């Protein structure tokens, strides 16, 4: 079996040598028939191992035990594909093919370790950010739920039902008086005029008074806010609703 004249790192000259050897009918063997399938098997297996590692350590869609087992099962196929590639690349020289296989597998293993560490770090960062966001949301929800739980028994019935507005009406005085009588001289014709006043009931609207929330000291008008504090979300107590609907005392009366 002829020996290769070039080293493995001299890729351009080495590739040309392998190509010329494969197309020389006087030399035995077809190295490209081993090199190409071996390289495709190695690349496909390596891509599949990387995909499983991504799904296991970053996306966490696979359990770590299952992902590690799958990658260990695929590892011999990758080594076999690398050996076939090296065997054809070194023109059937087994010692040099084994050495090239060891170099490629070692470099690949180092790269896989680096990528796995990066996946673990990114996965931990993603988990930490998710847990911190959940803690913030839970603290916000618990803080907003305190006032409603504190006043659920007092104001629960008031929020669901509508409270009718009280309106005061001042009836106007009604009176009727006889009109003046005019008597025309010389005749019996009499013109009588009568003034009639109709009774009109006019509703005087009452502006509701603002109240102060006993929980957050926010001032607001209950009927305008649907009987719920706009600041803390607590229901308006019943006594404060009645206080806001009480008529204002007029000065001088």
37-51 tens-digit pLDDT: 999 999 999 999 989
Are residue 94 and residue 123 in the same domain, yes or no?
yes
In a domain, 217, yes or no: yes
Q: Distance between CA 135 and CA 234 in Å, rounded?
A: 24
State both tokens at 126: 């993603």
Across the chain, what does the average pLDDT equal? 74
Q: Which two tokens stand for residue 216?
A: 């957050």
Please say if the pLDDT value at position 2 is more than 70: no
The radius of gyration of the chain's CA atoms, rounded to the nearest angstrom, is 48
pLDDT level of residue 206 (50, 70, 90 thresholds):
low
71 and 99 within one domain? yes
Q: Do the domain assignments include residue 188?
A: yes
pTM of the prediction?
0.47
3-state DSSP percent of the chain in helix, strand and coil, to 5: 55, 10, 35
Tell me, yes or no, whether 22 and 138 share the same domain: yes
Co-location of 48 and 166 in the same domain: no
Q: Are residues 21 and 65 in the same domain?
A: yes
In a domain, 35, yes or no: yes
Task: Tell me which of 106, 128, 147 is where a domain ends.
Answer: 147
219 Cβ contact list (under 8 Å, min separation 6): 210, 211, 212, 213
Res 131 pLDDT > 80: no
Residue 81 burial (CB count, 10 A): 21
Question: With 90 as the cut, is the pLDDT of residue 133 above it?
Answer: no
d(CA 34, CA 85): 6
Domain of 237, in residue numbers: 154-244
Task: Report the pLDDT averaged over residues 104-124.
Answer: 83
What's the whole-number mean pLDDT along residues 135-140? 60
Residue with tokens 């001299």: 10
Say yes or no: 116 and 28 in one domain: yes
Distance, CA of 237 to CA of 227 (rounded, Å): 9
What are the tens digits of pLDDT across the range 157-199? 433 443 334 444 444 444 444 444 444 444 555 666 666 666 6
Is pLDDT above 90 for 73?
A: yes
> Does residue 21 share a domain with residue 137?
yes
The whole-number pLDDT of residue 196 equals 64
Question: Is 199 buried (19+), middle (13-18) or exposed (0-12) by CB count in 10 A?
Answer: exposed
Residue 251 falls within a domain, yes or no? Answer: no
Of 57-61, 72-76, 185-189, which gets the smallest average pLDDT?
185-189
Distance CA 241, CA 164 (A): 11
Is residue 29 domain-shared with residue 134, that is, in the same domain? yes
My answer on whether 131 and 214 are in the same domain is no
* pLDDT score of 239 more than 50: yes
Taking alpha carbons only, the member of 22, 23, 40 closest to residue 31 is 22
**Residue 149: its pLDDT value, please?**
43
Query: How many distinct structural domains can be found in the chain?
Result: 2
Domain boundary residue among 119, 147, 175?
147
Nearest to 55 by CA among 39, 45, 73, 67: 67
């Amino acid at each position: 079996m002829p020996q290769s004249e070039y080293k493995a790192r001299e890729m351009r000259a080495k590739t040309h040598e392998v190509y010329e050897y494969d197309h020389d009918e006087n030399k035995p063997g077809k190295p490209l028939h081993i090199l190409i399938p071996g390289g495709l098997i190695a690349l496909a297996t390596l891509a599949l191992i990387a995909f499983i590692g991504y799904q296991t350590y970053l996306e966490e869609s696979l359990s770590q035990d299952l992902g590690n087992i799958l990658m260990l099962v695929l590892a011999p196929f990758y080594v076999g594909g690398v050996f076939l590639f090296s065997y054809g690349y070194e023109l059937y020289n087994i010692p040099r093919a084994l050495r090239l296989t060891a170099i490629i597998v070692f470099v690949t293993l180092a790269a896989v370790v680096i990528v796995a560490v990066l996946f673990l770090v990114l996965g931990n960062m993603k988990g930490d950010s998710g847990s911190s966001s959940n803690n913030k949301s839970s603290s916000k929800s618990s803080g907003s739920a305190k006032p409603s739980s504190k006043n659920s028994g007092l104001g629960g019935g008031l929020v669901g039902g509508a409270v009718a507005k009280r309106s005061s009406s001042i009836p106007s005085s009604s009176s009727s008086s006889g009109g003046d009588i005019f008597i025309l001289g010389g005749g019996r014709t009499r013109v009588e005029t009568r003034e009639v006043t109709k009774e009109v009931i006019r509703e005087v609207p009452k502006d509701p008074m603002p109240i102060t929330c006993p929980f957050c000291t926010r001032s607001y008008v209950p009927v305008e806010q649907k009987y719920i504090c706009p600041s803390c979300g607590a229901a308006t107590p019943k006594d404060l609703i009645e206080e806001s609907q009480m008529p204002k005392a007029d000065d001088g009366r």
